[in-house]
Amino acid sequence: MTTRIVDAKPEQAISTAEKVLKLADPNDTRFNHRNDGFDAVRHSVTWVIFAFIDEYFLWTVTAMPEGQRTSLRVNASRTSASTTAAMVAPGVAAPLMTGAAPGHAIQDPKLYALFWSRFDSLQGKGKWTTCDEFGAPNTGSTALALCGIGREDFKP
């Protein structure tokens, strides 16, 4: 979780945070709006040989007025499940093995750094950071919350 005081009214801060997440994956991100922010879910499926990983990235964004500014709290978490086909012997049916990891908060500061970099860019303070520029392919799976595997970045 991360919190920052931003130079915007709560409605503007919420709208900008929503746009950051929409640009991460406009087709697979769903929003549930609240008076003080929103909850968003991004679904991602990763296929590997004989297996797939089904992940849900959950974002909670809350805005509180701080005078002429806004305190914006952002929290990301991930829930995942995997299914693997296990070969018993040639020609023998392969049973499926499944596993799941319950939702847990993402603590990686690099993910939040990318979020805030993109937030700032949409506020006119700096350039948009792509997933490649950020080094997402080399940062591990937490970057998937904002960067997908094998697809282009959406830019504002």
Q: Which domain holds residue 86?
A: 2-145
pLDDT, residue 100, reads 47
pTM of the model: 0.82
Residue with tokens 């979780």: 1
153 in any annotated domain: no
pLDDT, residue 125, reads 93
What the block records as the tokens of 102 is 């319950």
Query: Torsion angle, CA of 16/125/59/70, rounded to 10 degrees?
Result: -70
Number of domains observed in the structure of the chain: 1
Please name the residues in contact with 82: beta carbons below 8 A apart, sequence gap of 6 or more: 51, 52, 53, 54, 98, 99, 100
Alpha-carbon span 60 to 15, nearest angstrom: 13
DSSP assignment letter at 106: -
pLDDT, residue 66, reads 95
Confidence band, pLDDT 50/70/90 cuts, at residue 17: very high
154 in any annotated domain: no
* CA distance to 11, 17, 97, 111, 113, per residue, from 71 (Å): 12, 12, 44, 19, 16
For residues 39 and 60, the answer to whether their CB atoms sit within 8 Å is yes
45 in any annotated domain: yes
* CA distance to 70, 75, 81, 97, 137, per residue, from 17 (Å): 12, 12, 27, 38, 23
Half-sphere exposure of 102 (CA within 13 A, CB side): 0
Residue-wise pLDDT for 24-71, tens only, equals 888 888 999 999 999 999 877 666 666 666 778 899 999 999 999 999
43 in any annotated domain: yes
Residue-wise pLDDT for 100-155, tens only, equals 455 778 888 888 999 999 999 999 999 998 887 887 655 555 777 888 665 566 77
Confidence band, pLDDT 50/70/90 cuts, at residue 80: confident
pLDDT, residue 79, reads 83
Does position 96 have pLDDT exceeding 60, yes or no? no
150 in any annotated domain: no
pLDDT, residue 118, reads 94
Please name the residues in contact with 64: beta carbons below 8 A apart, sequence gap of 6 or more: 10, 36, 70, 71, 73
106 in any annotated domain: yes
